[in-house]
Structure formats: structure tokens, C-alpha cells
Amino acid sequence: MKIAKIKKIADRIVKKCRVDNPRHFKLAGHDPAETFGLSTDIEDVKAILAQGIARITELQQRLFAHGQWAVLIVLQGMDTAGKDGVVKHVMSGINPQGCEVHAFKAPSAEELAHDFLWRTDKDVPERGRIGIFNRSHYEEVLVVRVHPDILKRQNLPPSATGKDIWKNRFKEIRAFERHLTRNGTLVLKFHLRISKEEQRKRFLARLEEPFKRWKFSMNDIAERGRWDDYMAAYQNMIRETSTDYAPWYVVPADHKHVAWVVVSAAIIEALDKLKLEYPKVTGKALKELKEYERMLKAEERH
């Protein structure tokens, strides 16, 4: 498949997934099984995936050399939505030295003793690097919202837990992400949208395969029982925090390889807009390099 054709496909897909009008956003309007005309057979889209991986590899090198931008990729989704798979397949070509993955589990006692942004803020990537948050600060308006008992364990003063708590947290998240973007961090956020039926199938696959059973816990079933609460929380979260400087992408995840194509295409589109260039060596430094080059070539003749 020609690169031009792949780019055309990617541009069309990204536009449909990016939430540009959050005020009227409805989660139900995004089909988890959408394929955007791509084949449901992974073999048929390997060329697109390969081109995406190769382009991200090149852009990461430019990002590191350019040194003025960092990239923060946020992955949120229900259990089995494929967050680990995105990290494994979309980012498979990048240099591990330029990337860090942080998987945020249940908060520790130390984390609970700080403000809700503290544990993610300290892991924001430095310029020149890519940071991936497998779950993130958004757990504080998802899991905590669905499970109010968690909020009680945060031991907050009454003034911080009133009726405006979620409105205030959304405001603080927007301000946090605005601060990051103003200081050279590109923020890309992906909600991997899986259907309840596909989650059921993936849970069964874990239970039926001995080497996958370790991934399963009874808490997964308890969370599944709160599906509608989570969908409402996700919809509200995206409405309140998808911005022009830190947009949400709602990624259909029932077909894993379609999700990989969408995420890679969105990353490429965003990085391309940064106009990343390798530093140019000029003047005295260039003359010195030319002299070193001459000296090294001269060694070959002796």
C-alpha cells in the first residue's frame, strides 16, 4: 500500500475519533466495533501498522534531537480494552531510552496523602522524551466517582468534598494540562472504547487460557457490574476535559488492530504538526566536524 493512501486513511480516521465539540459529546455515538472500512482481519492492515510504527520511530528520533517538546500519551479504558496492547504494538519501534511507561494502580498511602494530581505530575516526561500513562490522573474522576468510599480515604477537608468536587477537579485537570502544553508538553488522550459484550469474551479468554488467568481478579467482575456508572463517568469526563490543547480521542477497541491504527495515526498527526527538525551544525562547530571527518578518513589510508 502506498504511503499517500495510508496517510489519507489515517487522516480520515483521526478526524472521526477526535472530540472537537465536547459540549455535545455523546459516548453512545461512538461504536466500539467501528472499523472505518478497515478489514477485521489483522493480516489485511499490517502494511498500515508497519508504516505507522516506522513513522513514529522516525518522529521519536527527531523529538529527542529537537529537545524542545515532550509527549504525554494518556490511555484510559475499561478492563480488557487493550491499553497494554497499544503500548506493545503501537510503540514497538521506538527507542526504550526515550520512553517511559507508567501504569497507575490503586494509590498508595503516600499518594493518598497528597493532592490528586501529585502522583501523575511527578512522572510527566522531560522534553525530548515520550511518557505513556496506562491509566492516569483521570482515575480520580472515574474510579473515585464510581466508588465514593475511595474519596473518604483521601481524608480531604469538608471544603474540598462538596457538591462541586467533580466540577472543580475537571477545572484543575484542564489547568494542569494547559500548564503542560504551555511549557512544551504535547498531551494526547485516548479512551479505548470497548463494548460490554467484547469485554465478556475477553474475560472468558483469560479464564480459559492457563497462562492468562493471572490477569483476572474477582474485582474485575465487580467493576463490570458498574458498567453504566462508568459509561456515564467517561462521557462527563470527555465533555469536561477534551480541549483544543489536550484533546480526547475515542478509539473503537472491539477490534484491537483497528485501535492500534487509530492511536498510531493520531500520534503521527500530532507530532507532524510540531515540525520537529534535527539541530543544524553551522559555523565553527561545522568546521571542526569537517576536520574530524578528514582526520578519520586519513587514518584509513595508513
Q: Over the stretch 33-70, which tens digit does the pLDDT of each residue have?
A: 999 999 889 888 888 889 999 999 999 999 999 999 99
pLDDT score recorded for residue 211:
74
Phi first, then psi: what are they for 136, rounded to 5°?
-165, -160
The three-class DSSP label of residue 132 is: strand
pLDDT score recorded for residue 82:
95
Among 139, 141, 120, 127, which Cα is nearest to 186's? 127
In the chain, where the domains are located: 3-300
Gap between the Cα atoms of 270 and 250, Å rounded: 16
pLDDT score recorded for residue 288:
87
Report the DSSP beta bridge partners of residue 18.
249
pLDDT score recorded for residue 117:
96
| Model confidence at 107: pLDDT above 70 | yes
Exposed, middle or buried, 122 (CB in 10 Å: 0-12/13-18/19+)?
exposed
Please give the torsion angle defined by the CA atoms of residues 134, 139, 141 and 145, in that order, rounded to the nearest 10 degrees.
140
Q: Are strands 248-252 and 70-77 parallel, antiparallel or unpaired?
A: unpaired
Gap between the Cα atoms of 11 and 266, Å rounded: 8
Confidence of residue 12 (pLDDT cuts 50, 70, 90): confident
| CATH code assigned to 3-300 | 3.40.50.300
pLDDT score recorded for residue 276:
93
pLDDT score recorded for residue 6:
62
Please give the torsion angle defined by the CA atoms of residues 94, 271, 169 and 146, in that order, rounded to the nearest 10 degrees.
-50
Mean pLDDT of 266-286: 90
Confidence of residue 106 (pLDDT cuts 50, 70, 90): confident
Radius of gyration of the chain (CA): 22
**How much is the mean pLDDT over the chain?**
91
- How many helices and strands in the chain, by DSSP H and E? 13, 5
Work out the percent of the chain whose per-residue pLDDT is above 90. Answer: 67
Give tens-digit pLDDT for 243-257. Answer: 999 999 999 999 999
pLDDT score recorded for residue 33:
97
| Model confidence at 302: pLDDT above 70 | no
